[in-house]
Amino acid sequence: MSELSSALANLEEDKVNQLIKQELGPGKDAMGVLTELRKGMDEVGQRYKKGEYFLSELIVSGEIFKEAMKAIEPSLKKGSGGPATKIVIGTVKGDIHNIGKDIVATLLKGAGFDVYDLGIDVPVKAFIDKVVETKATIVGMSGLLTPSFGSMKETVDALKEAGLRDKVKVIIGGGVVTELVKRHTDADAFTDDAMDGIETIKKWAKEKK
Protein backbone atom coordinates (compact mmCIF):
# COMPACT_ATOMS: atom_id res chain seq x y z
CA MET A 1 0.00 0.00 0.00
CA SER A 2 1.01 3.59 -0.56
CA GLU A 3 1.71 5.95 2.32
CA LEU A 4 -1.74 7.52 1.87
CA SER A 5 -3.54 4.16 1.83
CA SER A 6 -1.68 3.05 4.94
CA ALA A 7 -2.44 6.30 6.77
CA LEU A 8 -6.16 5.88 6.13
CA ALA A 9 -6.10 2.19 7.06
CA ASN A 10 -4.31 3.12 10.29
CA LEU A 11 -6.89 5.86 11.00
CA GLU A 12 -4.23 8.61 11.00
CA GLU A 13 -6.47 11.53 10.14
CA ASP A 14 -3.86 14.31 10.35
CA LYS A 15 -1.47 12.36 8.17
CA VAL A 16 -4.18 11.65 5.59
CA ASN A 17 -5.01 15.36 5.38
CA GLN A 18 -1.35 16.30 5.08
CA LEU A 19 -0.66 13.76 2.32
CA ILE A 20 -3.72 14.85 0.35
CA LYS A 21 -2.53 18.45 0.38
CA GLN A 22 0.82 17.27 -0.98
CA GLU A 23 -0.78 15.08 -3.63
CA LEU A 24 -3.20 17.71 -4.92
CA GLY A 25 -0.60 20.16 -6.20
CA PRO A 26 -0.56 21.47 -9.80
CA GLY A 27 -0.51 18.67 -12.37
CA LYS A 28 -1.28 16.01 -9.79
CA ASP A 29 -3.74 13.20 -10.47
CA ALA A 30 -6.76 13.56 -8.16
CA MET A 31 -8.16 10.29 -9.49
CA GLY A 32 -4.98 8.56 -8.34
CA VAL A 33 -5.46 10.03 -4.86
CA LEU A 34 -9.01 8.68 -4.82
CA THR A 35 -7.75 5.25 -5.84
CA GLU A 36 -5.31 5.21 -2.92
CA LEU A 37 -8.06 6.27 -0.53
CA ARG A 38 -10.22 3.41 -1.78
CA LYS A 39 -7.39 0.98 -1.17
CA GLY A 40 -7.14 2.29 2.36
CA MET A 41 -10.87 1.74 2.89
CA ASP A 42 -10.56 -1.77 1.46
CA GLU A 43 -7.85 -2.49 4.03
CA VAL A 44 -10.12 -1.19 6.79
CA GLY A 45 -12.74 -3.64 5.57
CA GLN A 46 -10.26 -6.52 5.63
CA ARG A 47 -9.20 -5.68 9.18
CA TYR A 48 -12.85 -5.57 10.22
CA LYS A 49 -13.42 -9.02 8.71
CA LYS A 50 -10.41 -10.40 10.58
CA GLY A 51 -11.70 -9.01 13.88
CA GLU A 52 -8.83 -6.52 14.13
CA TYR A 53 -11.22 -3.57 13.74
CA PHE A 54 -14.72 -3.08 15.14
CA LEU A 55 -17.70 -0.79 14.54
CA SER A 56 -15.95 2.20 16.09
CA GLU A 57 -13.05 1.88 13.63
CA LEU A 58 -15.49 1.65 10.71
CA ILE A 59 -17.14 4.88 11.85
CA VAL A 60 -13.80 6.68 12.27
CA SER A 61 -12.49 5.52 8.88
CA GLY A 62 -15.74 6.62 7.27
CA GLU A 63 -15.44 10.10 8.75
CA ILE A 64 -11.81 10.41 7.63
CA PHE A 65 -12.78 9.29 4.13
CA LYS A 66 -15.69 11.76 3.95
CA GLU A 67 -13.42 14.65 4.91
CA ALA A 68 -10.82 13.50 2.40
CA MET A 69 -13.46 13.38 -0.34
CA LYS A 70 -14.44 16.99 0.39
CA ALA A 71 -10.82 17.97 -0.24
CA ILE A 72 -10.35 16.12 -3.51
CA GLU A 73 -13.79 16.42 -5.14
CA PRO A 74 -13.09 19.87 -6.66
CA SER A 75 -10.03 18.40 -8.41
CA LEU A 76 -11.75 15.33 -9.81
CA LYS A 77 -12.62 15.41 -13.48
CA LYS A 78 -16.19 14.33 -13.99
CA GLY A 79 -16.34 10.92 -15.58
CA SER A 80 -12.61 10.28 -15.27
CA GLY A 81 -13.26 7.07 -13.39
CA GLY A 82 -15.71 5.72 -15.94
CA PRO A 83 -19.38 5.03 -15.29
CA ALA A 84 -20.06 3.99 -11.71
CA THR A 85 -22.80 1.66 -10.50
CA LYS A 86 -25.60 3.75 -9.03
CA ILE A 87 -27.23 2.88 -5.71
CA VAL A 88 -30.09 4.57 -3.87
CA ILE A 89 -29.87 4.10 -0.12
CA GLY A 90 -31.86 5.27 2.88
CA THR A 91 -33.38 4.45 6.26
CA VAL A 92 -37.03 3.64 5.60
CA LYS A 93 -40.15 5.52 6.73
CA GLY A 94 -40.76 5.25 10.46
CA ASP A 95 -37.09 4.79 11.42
CA ILE A 96 -34.49 7.46 12.16
CA HIS A 97 -31.42 5.29 12.84
CA ASN A 98 -28.58 6.31 10.57
CA ILE A 99 -25.20 5.03 11.81
CA GLY A 100 -25.26 1.73 9.90
CA LYS A 101 -26.62 3.39 6.77
CA ASP A 102 -24.01 6.14 6.92
CA ILE A 103 -21.19 3.61 7.26
CA VAL A 104 -22.42 1.61 4.27
CA ALA A 105 -22.93 4.75 2.15
CA THR A 106 -19.43 6.00 2.92
CA LEU A 107 -17.80 2.64 2.25
CA LEU A 108 -19.68 2.36 -1.04
CA LYS A 109 -18.41 5.78 -2.08
CA GLY A 110 -14.95 4.60 -1.14
CA ALA A 111 -15.42 1.57 -3.37
CA GLY A 112 -16.32 3.78 -6.33
CA PHE A 113 -20.12 3.61 -6.33
CA ASP A 114 -22.34 6.53 -7.23
CA VAL A 115 -24.35 6.78 -4.01
CA TYR A 116 -27.63 8.66 -3.58
CA ASP A 117 -28.23 8.78 0.18
CA LEU A 118 -31.83 9.82 0.91
CA GLY A 119 -31.26 10.07 4.67
CA ILE A 120 -33.65 8.83 7.35
CA ASP A 121 -37.41 8.32 7.64
CA VAL A 122 -37.57 8.04 3.84
CA PRO A 123 -41.07 7.69 2.30
CA VAL A 124 -41.71 4.98 -0.27
CA LYS A 125 -42.24 7.53 -3.04
CA ALA A 126 -38.82 9.09 -2.43
CA PHE A 127 -37.09 5.77 -3.14
CA ILE A 128 -39.10 5.25 -6.32
CA ASP A 129 -38.63 8.81 -7.58
CA LYS A 130 -34.86 8.66 -7.03
CA VAL A 131 -34.54 5.31 -8.83
CA VAL A 132 -36.47 6.74 -11.79
CA GLU A 133 -34.40 9.94 -11.76
CA THR A 134 -30.98 8.29 -11.50
CA LYS A 135 -31.66 4.95 -13.22
CA ALA A 136 -29.98 3.29 -10.23
CA THR A 137 -29.67 -0.49 -10.42
CA ILE A 138 -29.40 -1.15 -6.67
CA VAL A 139 -31.60 -0.07 -3.76
CA GLY A 140 -30.42 -0.35 -0.17
CA MET A 141 -32.90 0.03 2.70
CA SER A 142 -31.97 0.22 6.36
CA GLY A 143 -34.06 -0.18 9.48
CA LEU A 144 -33.53 -1.07 13.15
CA LEU A 145 -37.17 -1.09 14.25
CA THR A 146 -39.60 -3.90 13.47
CA PRO A 147 -42.21 -1.46 12.02
CA SER A 148 -39.64 -0.67 9.33
CA PHE A 149 -40.27 -4.11 7.81
CA GLY A 150 -43.63 -2.90 6.55
CA SER A 151 -42.02 0.14 4.93
CA MET A 152 -39.43 -2.08 3.25
CA LYS A 153 -42.15 -4.32 1.82
CA GLU A 154 -44.18 -1.32 0.65
CA THR A 155 -41.12 0.04 -1.16
CA VAL A 156 -40.43 -3.25 -2.95
CA ASP A 157 -44.12 -3.49 -3.87
CA ALA A 158 -43.98 0.06 -5.23
CA LEU A 159 -40.95 -0.85 -7.34
CA LYS A 160 -43.02 -3.67 -8.82
CA GLU A 161 -45.98 -1.38 -9.51
CA ALA A 162 -43.66 1.10 -11.23
CA GLY A 163 -42.26 -1.65 -13.46
CA LEU A 164 -38.81 -1.25 -11.91
CA ARG A 165 -38.41 -4.41 -9.83
CA ASP A 166 -36.72 -6.45 -12.55
CA LYS A 167 -34.29 -3.58 -13.18
CA VAL A 168 -32.95 -3.25 -9.62
CA LYS A 169 -31.44 -5.43 -6.92
CA VAL A 170 -32.72 -4.76 -3.41
CA ILE A 171 -30.74 -5.27 -0.20
CA ILE A 172 -32.13 -4.62 3.28
CA GLY A 173 -30.02 -4.14 6.38
CA GLY A 174 -30.17 -3.63 10.13
CA GLY A 175 -29.55 -5.49 13.35
CA VAL A 176 -33.03 -7.01 13.43
CA VAL A 177 -33.19 -8.05 9.77
CA THR A 178 -33.26 -11.79 9.07
CA GLU A 179 -33.78 -14.23 6.22
CA LEU A 180 -37.47 -14.33 7.18
CA VAL A 181 -37.70 -10.55 6.81
CA LYS A 182 -35.95 -10.77 3.45
CA ARG A 183 -38.57 -13.22 2.22
CA HIS A 184 -41.40 -11.12 3.68
CA THR A 185 -40.22 -7.98 1.90
CA ASP A 186 -39.18 -9.84 -1.28
CA ALA A 187 -35.70 -8.28 -1.15
CA ASP A 188 -32.81 -9.96 -2.99
CA ALA A 189 -30.49 -10.00 0.03
CA PHE A 190 -30.25 -8.97 3.66
CA THR A 191 -27.37 -8.14 5.95
CA ASP A 192 -26.74 -7.26 9.59
CA ASP A 193 -23.08 -6.51 8.89
CA ALA A 194 -21.82 -3.51 6.91
CA MET A 195 -18.91 -5.28 5.22
CA ASP A 196 -20.98 -8.31 4.22
CA GLY A 197 -23.48 -5.93 2.66
CA ILE A 198 -20.72 -4.16 0.75
CA GLU A 199 -19.45 -7.49 -0.63
CA THR A 200 -22.94 -8.43 -1.82
CA ILE A 201 -23.37 -5.08 -3.56
CA LYS A 202 -19.91 -5.32 -5.16
CA LYS A 203 -20.81 -8.76 -6.49
CA TRP A 204 -24.03 -7.42 -8.04
CA ALA A 205 -22.12 -4.56 -9.65
CA LYS A 206 -19.67 -7.00 -11.26
CA GLU A 207 -22.52 -9.12 -12.57
CA LYS A 208 -24.07 -6.06 -14.22
CA LYS A 209 -20.88 -5.24 -16.14
Residues of the chain with CATH 3.40.50.280: 86-208
Superfamily per CATH, domain 3-75: Methionine synthase domain (1.10.1240.10)
pLDDT recorded at residue 35: 82
CA dist 6 and 168 (Å) reads 35
pLDDT by residue for the chain (209 residues), tens only, comes to: 899 999 999 999 999 999 998 888 766 677 788 889 989 988 998 898 899 999 899 889 988 988 998 888 777 654 444 568 999 999 999 998 887 898 888 888 878 899 999 999 999 999 999 999 999 999 999 998 888 999 999 999 999 999 999 999 999 998 889 999 999 999 999 998 888 899 999 999 998 76
Separation of alpha carbons 167 and 36, rounded Å = 32
Tell how many helices (H) and how many strands (E) occur in the chain.
Answer: 9, 5
Q: Where, residue-wise, is CATH 1.10.1240.10 in the chain?
A: 3-75
Note if the pTM is more than 0.85: no
Give the model confidence (pLDDT) of 45-73 as tens digits. Answer: 889 889 999 989 988 998 898 899 888 87
Q: What number does CATH give the domain 86-208?
A: 3.40.50.280
